[in-house]
Chain A
């Protein structure tokens, strides 16, 4: 299943840090992403585009997972050689377009 069919998401930044949030549409979808999207899985997905480690925070009461990559944006968005500023708002599709297996 595509993560983007189970969740809404949003990404942002603070300094060098890339910050991504997923909110599941219901409890079953949350169980699926909570099991499938480990720090390792997400780090591998992000590392296709940006460097560094990933930390995960779970907020089960809000059916939400947060992923923070503290060194993904070296020098911040103004130092980026990306086409156009604030490209990090599109980085959430690195997670929304992942395929995961549904949890029972």
Chain B
């Protein structure tokens, strides 16, 4: 069967590796590459940048990521789709067009997708919780329509802001012809499978009983690509010379990752039922997917608002080493609980990195005392002065606490709540603006 589209996964988060994307584009084995680069934290930083300068708000890594990619992609006719537009897709498109010009690729057409910013529509959005604090921004998750339209109109690069991650990767397969229900289901499911790059090819994966890829394989891990077929089936693979593991188990874990109800996975472009899907190995690191179903289309889009709340979170750590380190760390933690007894219990966490800082009370009992560990404190504080008190109390342990407190580090972070809501689809029209590289 001839694929409708061959799509590569070029990034799964803002800081993802650059080299696997370049390898995919250079292989000549894909028609388009999609890069998901917009996490919540990234968008918050972009909103702050846009506040201070009108041309700010695009992803600050745009240049680093696209410089090696644009030339190889242009040479192979591989289109680039990304949410590198962050809080300002139009500015990102200008930057990308100018970069393409610098790289000698004049004539390249860049489209920016606008419409996701719905900060002016907070009163038309049904929020899960009240917006309590300063609104930094509110964005709707757009679907693939606008990006597919841009590709159909000949865009070489499409830059969006907030869109559903799966839509970025599905757009190329929805751009060609008139996709029927089966192909839409296949394209959107493939979009979800590709959106976390290395998680489909053996990253963040430990097989039953342990083991898995070695350090050399993880360091060179290939990113996945997919062939989407007209009948809605697909093939998932990694480049032949790239290390990785693509099999029914890695595919199943990624298929079900963060989807909530596998029978009703809601994306802006359709509600998907994954419960009939099967994965069949058809070669080394190559899997055939069948059985994706589309069971509806949501009439409302998901919105995420960022709200800055009063106060600061202070994170502070202090280390202990040598014989009886665990005893001294426990002593330090108990001392801090006494010193910070004015803090409400819900606003203070004191635990030990190396013992119980991740899984808390469920951490397995230790068989041996650790040779070193760190006492960790996180405290919600009214203001900077209160954060200073928490930090000073930890530093004070070096003079008045258990022996040998060392290696202190501290940081402060703002309190930003993410609040979800739903907005009627027809209130969120999309539009495209175009730039051409000169």
For chain A, the count of residues having a C-beta within 8 Å of the partner chain is: 46
For chain B, the count of residues having a C-beta within 8 Å of the partner chain is: 57
Q: Which residues of B contact A81 (CB under 8 A)?
A: 313, 347-349, 378-380
Q: Name which residue of chain B comes closest to A5, CB basis.
A: B209
Q: Which residues of B contact A14 (CB under 8 A)?
A: 258, 260
Cα distance, A89 to B256, chains bound together (Å):
14
Cα distance, A15 to B303, chains bound together (Å):
12
Q: Which of B259, B276, B357 contacts A61 (CB 8 A)?
A: B276
Could you tell me the dominant secondary structure of chain B's interface residues? mixed
Q: Name which residue of chain B comes closest to A50, CB basis.
A: B360
B362: interface (CB < 8 Å): yes
Number of A-B contacts (CB under 8 A): 128
Within 8 A of B (CB), among A31-52: 45, 48-49
Distance (whole angstroms) from the CB of B434 to the closest CB of chain A: 34
Within 8 A of B (CB), among A11-65: 12-15, 17, 19, 21, 23-25, 29, 45, 48-49, 57, 59, 61-64
Q: Which residues of B contact A79 (CB under 8 A)?
A: 415-417
Given A66-B262, A82-B357, A89-B204; A4-B317 close (CB under 8 Å): no
- Whether the Cβ atoms of A4 and B209 lie closer than 8 Å is yes
A102: interface (CB < 8 Å): no
Distance (whole angstroms) from the CB of A14 to the closest CB of chain B: 6
Q: Which of B128, B206, B279, B362 contacts A62 (CB 8 A)?
A: B279
Within 8 A of A (CB), among B130-149: none
Within 8 A of A (CB), among B71-85: none
B41: interface (CB < 8 Å): yes
Given A5-B209, A21-B257, A81-B348; A45-B362 close (CB under 8 Å): yes
Distance (whole angstroms) from the CB of B406 to the closest CB of chain A: 17
Q: Which residues of B contact A9 (CB under 8 A)?
A: 253
Q: Which residues of A contact B207 (CB under 8 A)?
A: 8, 25
Q: Name which residue of chain B comes closest to A62, CB basis.
A: B252
Q: Which residues of A contact B277 (CB under 8 A)?
A: 61-62
Distance (whole angstroms) from the CB of B249 to the closest CB of chain A: 5
Cα distance, A76 to B263, chains bound together (Å):
24
Q: Which of A19, A57, A93, A97 contacts B258 (CB 8 A)?
A: A19
Q: Write out, one digit per residue, whether chain A residues 59-75 have a CB within 8 A of any chain B CB (1) or not (0).
A: 10111101010000001
Q: Which residues of A contact B416 (CB under 8 A)?
A: 78-79
Q: Name which residue of chain B comes closest to A93, CB basis.
A: B359
Distance (whole angstroms) from the CB of B267 to the closest CB of chain A: 13
Cα distance, A79 to B380, chains bound together (Å):
9
Given A8-B206, A59-B262, A82-B349; A66-B256 close (CB under 8 Å): yes
Q: Write out, one digit per residue, whether chain B residues 334-373 have a CB within 8 A of any chain A CB (1) or not (0).
A: 0000000000000111010100011111101000000000
Q: Name which residue of chain B comes closest to A92, CB basis.
A: B206
Cα distance, A15 to B248, chains bound together (Å):
28
B278: interface (CB < 8 Å): yes
Q: Which residues of B contact A63 (CB under 8 A)?
A: 252
- Whether the Cβ atoms of B253 and A8 lie closer than 8 Å is yes
Cα distance, A17 to B261, chains bound together (Å):
12
Given A4-B210, A83-B357; A21-B256 close (CB under 8 Å): yes
- Whether the Cβ atoms of A78 and B40 lie closer than 8 Å is yes
Given A61-B277, A66-B262, A90-B359; A29-B208 close (CB under 8 Å): yes
Q: List 29 A-B contacts (CB under 8 A).
A: A4-B206, A4-B210, A8-B253, A9-B253, A10-B199, A12-B257, A14-B260, A17-B260, A24-B208, A25-B249, A48-B360, A49-B359, A49-B361, A59-B256, A59-B274, A61-B278, A62-B252, A62-B279, A64-B252, A78-B417, A81-B313, A81-B347, A81-B349, A81-B378, A83-B317, A83-B376, A85-B41, A87-B358, A97-B364
A25-B207, A83-B351 known; 14 other A-B pairs, CB under 8 Å? Answer: A4-B209, A8-B205, A8-B249, A14-B260, A49-B359, A61-B277, A62-B277, A78-B413, A79-B416, A81-B378, A82-B349, A82-B357, A83-B353, A87-B358
Q: Which residues of B contact A (CB under 8 A)?
A: 40-41, 128, 199, 204-210, 248-249, 252-263, 274-279, 291, 313, 315, 317, 347-349, 351, 353, 357-362, 364, 376, 378-380, 413, 415-418, 420
